[in-house]
Amino acid sequence: MASETTAGAIAPVTRDESGIWGFSSAQLAALGVLLIFLGVAPFFLYPVFLMKLLCFALFACAFNLLIGYVGLLSFGHAAYFGMGGYIAGYTAKAYGFTPELAVLTGAAVAGVQGWVFGWIAIRRQGIYFAMITLAMAQMIYFVCVQAPFTGGEDGIQAIPRGALFGSVSMASDMSMYWFVAGIFLAGFLMIHRIIHSPYGQVLKAIRENEPRATSLGYRTDDYKLVAFILSATLAGVAGGVKSLVFGIATLTDVHWSMSGEVVLMTLVGGLGTVFGPVVGAAVIVTMQNYLAEMGAWVTVIQGAIFVTVVLAFRRGIVGEIAHLFRVKL
Amino acid sequence: MLDFIENLLGIPAPLLFGQLLLGLINGAFYAMLSLGLAVIFGLLNIINFTHGAQFMMGAFVAWMLLAWGGLGYWWALLIAPLIVGATGVVIERLMISRLYKLDHLYGLLLTFGIGLMIEGVFRNEFGSSGLPYRIPAELSGAWDLGFMFMPVYRGWVVVFSLVICLATWIVIEKTRLGAYLRAATENAALVQAFGVNVPRMITLTYGAGVALAALAGVLAAPIYSVNPQMGTNLIIVVFAVVVIGGMGSILGSVITGFGLGIIEGLTKVFWPEASATVIFVIMAIVLLARPAGLFGRA
């Protein structure tokens, strides 16, 4: 059966326009909108909701680095998100780590975990890769159920936000918001930088045609592994920040349904677009917020969105807009 | 003999045999589910993520037949797979068939979404607590095997699932229909050129794979409580089983399924904390040593 390359709806590799810092003019405009939104939103919207949104947006961007630019569908990204959250929460609570140190520790552990799991998973491709990452994440879930430091079913509760660098208190939602927004922006720009580096070009080459990239002399497994580690680390950052924001780290964040949610966010926004995951995360988080009292129907709606997007508009929201106006977003 | 085992291993023999039996039963479900996944994957090239939900539907249809229609276990064993298989046919025709020309990952995402919808609907309708399903009178009670008491129903599950696996193997390897199926797996376009209606074959194959999952669900109904989540956790383990075995061979899936069930059961005896993770650890080891899986082709 003929099959297009991974994620056939993804924009093909084009020569990068000579925009500023690798951004096309359309992307610059979108970035401007994003920056203004980040600056203005906390004065109009509930900061905790915004912080949740930004955590998931960063999580989805990290996930998109793999699916959108290397063509690897990881169905177990909750393992890195959740572990980042547990470690950051534990170190902040038990050892009194400052928030930036707690998040870094969580990210480092998630990165090491991504190293080991990525090393195992890249031995297979396509569907098998997805199944292996899912199985590995399920293993982490069971480990988290039993391990003493996670608090089992109760999770880690009353995690202190602490003071940034030991001096700036993060207790108020507003100061925490600027911390979260800063981390999100740094992560977002870092991913953009990775994609537009020579290394990122090789990743895209692997996505389009791995045997050819191999024949050109690239050790594709090494490239894929590094991308996996980067993605897992950033997912760990997102998870760590989330546990500090809410003061709680639970099994929900390592559960397979969280892995499904990040796939959904990225898919809705647009695989392989720079801004898609952000928009997708905003849509899904907002939806969950409004439908929270509907219980299990949220699952049904999420499933329906999955089905609709896969069948009807595989480019996602941002991908469709970009296609409509023939720009890169 | 029993004393010897107890002295040697330091654990009571009933515990050992009890867990071995539980392992065999889990293995039976692993085998039947991974068999269905392998058959579907062979022809459709998608991993059917809805499989867990369809297993759960099998159990629920059995429960509904009894509670609402008064039809007992034996009828359920026949009717439930047909009903759930029919829903599979509809799903394949309406949705999955639109994705064959795309990357296989879209098939996985689509079936994942369908699975979420089915699970959510059942959770709304029946809650998460689970419903009881009585063991049929003919299969209740237990045999005294001398070294342990063997509940009749559990023995029945192991034997019946072995028969089903064997029957599937015979159909695929020894019949004319199976020959078409294997040929279409190798080269669908060529088989179609010989006048075989390949799209219909694909649809029916999906239906059959789904029916197999539903049949496993009916078998599971009296053992586990019938609840909306019963399939999802199971299917992730079955994915690991499929990765370990490789989807190349039917007998390979069956052997891997039963073998891993037994290993899991033994782990429960010797190191209970590791029993939930042992299959995933084995998967990692197999991937390091033989990436194509134990019975897979590279």
Interface of A with B in 119-158 (CB under 8 A): 120-121, 123-124, 126-128, 130-132, 134-136, 138-139, 142-143, 145-146
Q: Which residues of A touch B115 (CB under 8 A)?
A: 303
| H and E: helices and strands count for chain A | 13, 2
Contacts of A311 in chain B (CB under 8 A): 95, 98-99, 110
Query: Is a pLDDT exceeding 50 seen at residue A8?
Result: no
Q: In this structure, how many other beta carbons lie within 10 angstroms of the beta carbon of residue A197?
A: 12
Best mutation target among B46, B106, B122, B242 (most A Cβ atoms within 10 Å) is B106
pLDDT above 70 for A4? no
List, in sequence order, the alpha helices (H) in A126-172: 126-146
The answer to whether the Cβ–Cβ distance between B121 and A126 falls below 8 Å is: no
Task: Give the mean pLDDT of B14-24.
Answer: 86
Q: What is the DSSP letter of B248?
A: S
- Give the residue on A whose Cα is nearest the Cα of B124: A296
pTM given for the model: 0.89
Mean pLDDT value of segment A75-88? 95
In a domain, A15, yes or no: no
B103 interaction partners in chain A (CB closer than 8 Å): 3-8
Residue B188: list chain A partners with CB under 8 A. 1
For residue A96, the Cα-to-chain-centroid distance in whole angstroms is 27
The pLDDT, as a whole number, for residue B105 is: 87
Which of A300, A301, A314 should one mutate to test binding to chain B, selecting the residue with the greatest count of B CBs within 10 A? A300
Chain A CB contacts of B124 under 8 Å are: 295-297, 300
Closest of A221, A222, A241, A244 to residue A233, by C-alpha:
A241
How large is the average pLDDT for residues B220-229? 90
Distance, in Å, from the CA atom of A266 to the CA atom of A281, rounded to the nearest integer, reads: 7
CA distances from A63 to A67, A172, A260, B84 (A): 7, 30, 11, 34
The amino acid sitting at B292 is A
- The reply to whether A4 touches chain B by the CB within 8 Å rule is yes
CA distance B111 to B40: 12
Condensed to tens digits (0 to 9), the pLDDT of residues B233-248 reads 899 999 999 999 888 7
Tens of pLDDT, residues B114-137: 999 999 999 988 888 888 888 888
The model's confidence at residue B26, banded by pLDDT at 50, 70 and 90, is: very high
For the packed helices A256-269 and A316-325, what is the interaxial angle rounded to 10 degrees? 10
In this prediction, residue A293 carries a pLDDT of: 82
Confidence of residue A160 (pLDDT cuts 50, 70, 90): confident
**The pLDDT of residue A258:** 93
A14 domain-assigned: no
Q: B238 to chain A, minimum CA–CA distance in Å?
A: 9
Looking at the complex, does the CB of residue A304 fall below 8 Å from at least one CB of chain B?
Answer: yes
Helices B176-186, B198-220: inter-axial angle, 10-degree rounding: 110
Any chain B CB within 8 A of the CB of A216? no
Q: Which of A37-41, B92-96, B217-221 has the lowest mean pLDDT?
A: A37-41
Residue type, A290: Y
Amino acid identity, residue B245? G
Are the Cβ atoms of A131 and B232 closer than 8 angstroms?
no
Mean pLDDT of A49-59: 95
pLDDT value at position A124? 87
Chain A residue numbers touching B276 (CB-CB < 8 A): 142, 145-146
Q: Is A285 among the domain residues?
A: yes
* CB-based contact A1 B100, cutoff 8 Å: yes
Beta bridge partners of A249: A156
- pLDDT of res. A227: 95
Q: Report CA-CA distances (Å) from B139 to A84, A321, B118, B153, B187.
A: 49, 61, 31, 5, 45
A231–chain B nearest CA distance, Å: 19
- Asked if A293 is an interface residue toward chain B (Cβ–Cβ < 8 A), one would say no
Q: Is residue A7 part of a domain?
A: no
- Residue A18 is predicted with a pLDDT of 53
Between these two residues, B8 and B219, which has the higher pLDDT value? B219
For A267-288, letters b (16+ CB in 10 Å) and e give: bbbbbbbbbbbbbbbbbbbeeb
Compute the distance between CA of residue B291 and CA of residue B73 in angstroms, rounded to an integer: 41
- Banded pLDDT at B250 (limits 50, 70, 90): confident
Averaged pLDDT, A53-80: 94
Distance from CA of A260 to the nearest CA of B (A): 8
Which of B104, B120, B240 lies at the smallest CB-CB distance from A126?
B104
Is residue A13 in some structural domain? no
At residue A29, the pLDDT reads 87
Tell me what ipTM this predicted complex has.
0.88
A139 and B277 within 8 Å at the Cβ level: the answer is yes
Which of A289-327 are b and which e, b meaning 16 or more Cβ less than 10 Å from the residue's Cβ? eeeeeeebebbbbbbbbbbebbbebbbbbbbbbbbeeee
Looking at beta carbons, which residues of chain B come within 8 Å of A303?
112-120
**Tokens coding A183:** 């981390």
- How far is the C-alpha of A19 from the C-alpha of A255, rounded, in Å? 40
For residues A49 and A282, what is the distance between their CA atoms, to the nearest angstrom?
10
pLDDT digits (tens, 9 = 90+) for B153-190: 999 999 999 999 999 999 998 999 889 988 988 888 89
Interchain pair A314, B102: CB under 8 A = yes
pLDDT reported for residue A1 = 35
Q: In terms of CA atoms, which chain B residue is nearest residue A7?
A: B103
How many whole angstroms separate alpha carbon A142 and alpha carbon B103? 31
Count the domains in chain A: 1
CB A270 within 8 A of CB A67: no
Q: Where exactly are the structural domains of chain B?
A: 26-228
- Cross-chain Cβ contact B105/A130 below 8 Å: yes
**pLDDT band for position B1 (cuts 50, 70, 90):** low
Split at pLDDT 50, 70, 90, the class of A7 is very low
Mean pLDDT for all residues in chain A: 88
CB contact under 8 A, B106 and A73: no
Q: How far apart are CA B102 and CA B93, in angstroms?
A: 16
Q: Judge whether A329 lies within some domain.
A: no
CA nearest neighbour of A135 among A110, A117, A123, A153: A117
Q: Which pLDDT score, from 0 to 100, does residue B298 have?
A: 54
pLDDT at residue A111, rounded to an integer: 96
Please check whether residue A171 lies inside any domain of the structure: yes
pLDDT of B112: 94
Name the residue type at position A62.
A
Nearest to A267 among B103, B109, B273 (CB): B109
Judged by CB atoms closer than 8 Å, whether chains meet at B105 and A127 is answered as yes
Give the confidence band of A224 by pLDDT, cuts at 50, 70, 90. very high
Under an 8 A CB cutoff, do B240 and A5 touch?
no
pLDDT band at B140 (very low <50, low <70, confident <90, very high): confident
More reliable by pLDDT, A20 or B190? B190
Domain range holding A63?
A: 21-324
Nearest to B289 by CA among A98, A9, A123, A146: A123
Q: Are A130 and B105 spatial neighbours (Cβ–Cβ below 8 Å)?
A: yes
Q: Over the stretch A231-282, which tens digit does the pLDDT of each residue have?
A: 999 999 999 999 999 999 999 999 999 999 999 999 999 998 999 999 999 9
Residue with tokens 């383990």: B237
CATH number at residue A239: 1.10.3470
Residue carrying the six token digits 């208190």: A169
Q: Residue A151: pLDDT above 70?
A: yes
